[in-house]
Amino acid sequence: MRDFFANFFRFVSALPNNAVLWILVLFAGMPVQVAGQSRNAPREFREEVTKLIEQVMEKENIKGVSLGFVGPDGISWTTGVGYANLNEQISAGPFTVYPVASITKTFTTLAVLQLKEKGRLSLSDPYEKHVPEFSINSRFDETPLVTIKHLLSHYGGIPRDIYKGLMTSDSSQHPDILDYFSNNYLIYPPGVKYSYSNPGVELLGILIERVTGMRYEDYLKENILQPLQISETRFHRGGFEDHRLAKAYAHFDEKDHNEFPVSMKASGGLYSTVRDMTRAMEWILKEGQPGPEVGRALINEMLSDQKTENALDVSFESGWSWILERYPEPFKGVYAYQMGSTLYYNSVLALVPEHQIGVVVMCNTGGVLSNIVGLARGIALFGVQFFEEQPIEFSAPEIKNELEELKPEGKMVDRIKGDYLLESDLVRVLSVMGEVVVRMQGETYRVFYQGDGWFAVDPYFSFSNTVFEDRKVLLINQGGSIFPAGFDVSNDYIVPPNIFELQGSYRLENVNPENEEVFYQEVNLFMDGWLLKIELVLGSEQQKIFGYESATYTLAPISESEMVFGGFGMYKGETIFIQEVESGHRLKFSGLEFFKPGIRKEQ
């Protein structure tokens, strides 16, 4: 058992990059305050887990962590390590209150499933059946209607976020979701690609209100939270004693920080404690527990893959509000998790249903989400090993060390060729004297045909393609994980004729930093060779927290006034609108408005 974490780290490091977020091998940390309570959790287990938490906290300068753990045979343990309030030396513990952000989605999902259980709706219903004024534009040839099931699994093709008014102390700035969508576009046809969307879950909150005639918050409280017998989970900070609210910190200093509240409710508005979340995990994992009227069959579906048959991301698995990962034996079934993150708070709710293991981790330090995700995963898998009472030997996934080359047919060479626009780059697949070569990131690589339409660059990286809406889509296999990367733009990448007027720096115009969070303070539009790109410059506080100043993405022009983010990356397919005004140009993206003054012309 003592060797578990060392073996686990070796196992994790052998997995594909996009399959996990690492837990780093850490050194022993400084002494920290520990407070908590436990029921039937063996002392050795508690000691090992506490050591791991301390190590992560020392490495990343995390101020406070609260933990809840559920295990087999009635095991339940909650604790805290570090401080909820560093200045006043108030310990983090089971009843420390944190904003849990996207973990709220789990409870919104349960409310929708309960309405399905009661016969008030069908998950296959088109969303507009219940909210008839909902509309969103589409550029795709055949676009199916957005269903409730699409929204639950993030396969609705709904844009990722509305940043204007997302975090604000001014309620008049809260976004009008339905109005925003009526003037925007789907990023994919529903069912084609997983695309995480906060506004998509806000639509589910509106759905609950329309079907029940109750405020979303009231329905959730009466029908989900109260039946779970959890009383410390609410939609606002009010009513909690100040000493119980975790103060906000960053990993780079020791001072208190202020954070604007999140305006969206159904996708991320709850405040809670690990004690309450532990109670919720017990109900999800174990039959016979008192709780909401949601049948076990629907709970099992919630934690199973809901990917559609025509989905392009063949290796990805998503439940209803949960991300799913599969592990080799002896980890039976899936590891399901939901992350919640604001600027200064990070939370993870994780389940291994087949082993009746549940973990919730909350912390009050910004910029450390990947570490908290890794910590939750490590504790969950350590719990599986500990309570199974058997040693586990990890091994790397089996990948061939030699490339076996076959002779591709001429039609196969023609099929794979193209200029594929990725999130931040262009991959060119060419035929040179009958051989396929790849040009990417400024380098040219010879590739080897492996059959079944797949070409390999090295033993860990190969690619193929498929066709979507008469356009080629590049598929990448990275260490066994297959995902779409970009569209072929070789025949339809046309830069707007007014591009020289559009290029330049646009400054944020419609956000007041005194009462709203500044996500991006500036955008820069520029040409890179024959590609159009955009640089998103983070707000000053965001730069400190996340450790970088900006991110650059490729764009695919649609017209002189519209362009979309290229590839299948973070903003994949979202629309940027550019409008010429009397004094210059205005650029709109995700509810934000940026302005670039025009060049004054001589009279």
Cα(289)–Cα(235) distance, integer angstroms: 25
State which amino acid sits at residue 529. Answer: G
Give 106-149 pLDDT, tens digit per residue. 999 999 999 999 999 999 999 999 999 999 999 998 889 999 99
Cα(202)–Cα(216) distance, integer angstroms: 10
Q: Residue 578: which pLDDT band, with cuts at 50, 70 and 90?
A: very high
- The DSSP symbol for 492 reads T
Q: Are 484 and 188 in contact (CB under 8 A)?
A: no
Cα(112)–Cα(334) distance, integer angstroms: 23
| Number of other CB atoms surrounding residue 583 within 10 Å | 11
Cα(305)–Cα(12) distance, integer angstroms: 22
Q: How confident is the prediction for the chain on average, in pLDDT?
A: 88
Cα(94)–Cα(76) distance, integer angstroms: 12
* Rounded (10°) angle between helices 369-388 and 4-13: 130
- Asked if pLDDT for residue 386 goes beyond 60, the answer is yes
Cα(533)–Cα(493) distance, integer angstroms: 13
Give 442-464 pLDDT, tens digit per residue. 899 988 888 889 999 888 889 99
Give 512-542 pLDDT, tens digit per residue. 999 999 999 999 999 999 999 999 999 999 9
The candidate with the shortest Cα–Cα distance to 177, out of 157, 209, 203, is: 203
pLDDT for 414 equals 87
- Asked if pLDDT for residue 1 goes beyond 60, the answer is no
**Does residue 330 have a cis bond before it (omega within 30 degrees)?**
yes
- Asked if pLDDT for residue 6 goes beyond 60, the answer is no
414 SS3 class: helix
pLDDT for 393 equals 59
Burial-class residue 132 by CB neighbours within 10 Å (0-12, 13-18, 19+): exposed
β-bridge mates for residue 168, sequence order: 516
Widest distance between CA atoms in the chain: 85
Give the pTM. 0.90
Q: Are 160 and 143 in contact (CB under 8 A)?
A: no
400-428 residues labelled b (16+ CB within 10 A) or e (exposed)? eeeeeeeebeeebbebbbbbbbbbebbbe
Give 76-111 pLDDT, tens digit per residue. 999 999 999 999 999 999 999 999 999 999 999 999
Give 206-216 pLDDT, tens digit per residue. 999 999 999 99
- Asked if pLDDT for residue 428 goes beyond 60, the answer is yes
- State the residue for tokens 């549940």: 358
Backbone angles phi, psi at 509, to 5 degrees: -120, -30
Lowest mean pLDDT: which of 46-50, 191-195, 478-482, 573-577?
478-482
- Asked if pLDDT for residue 17 goes beyond 60, the answer is no
- Determine the average pLDDT of the residues in 297-308: 93
97 SS3 class: strand
- Determine the average pLDDT of the residues in 328-333: 68
- Determine the average pLDDT of the residues in 16-38: 37
Lowest mean pLDDT: which of 19-23, 162-166, 192-196, 381-385?
19-23
Cα(545)–Cα(205) distance, integer angstroms: 30
| Number of other CB atoms surrounding residue 468 within 10 Å | 17
- The DSSP symbol for 242 reads G
pLDDT for 403 equals 61
β-bridge mates for residue 462, sequence order: 456, 477
- Asked if pLDDT for residue 581 goes beyond 50, the answer is yes
- Asked if pLDDT for residue 32 goes beyond 80, the answer is no
226-254 residues labelled b (16+ CB within 10 A) or e (exposed)? ebbebebbbbeeeebeeeebbbbbbbeee
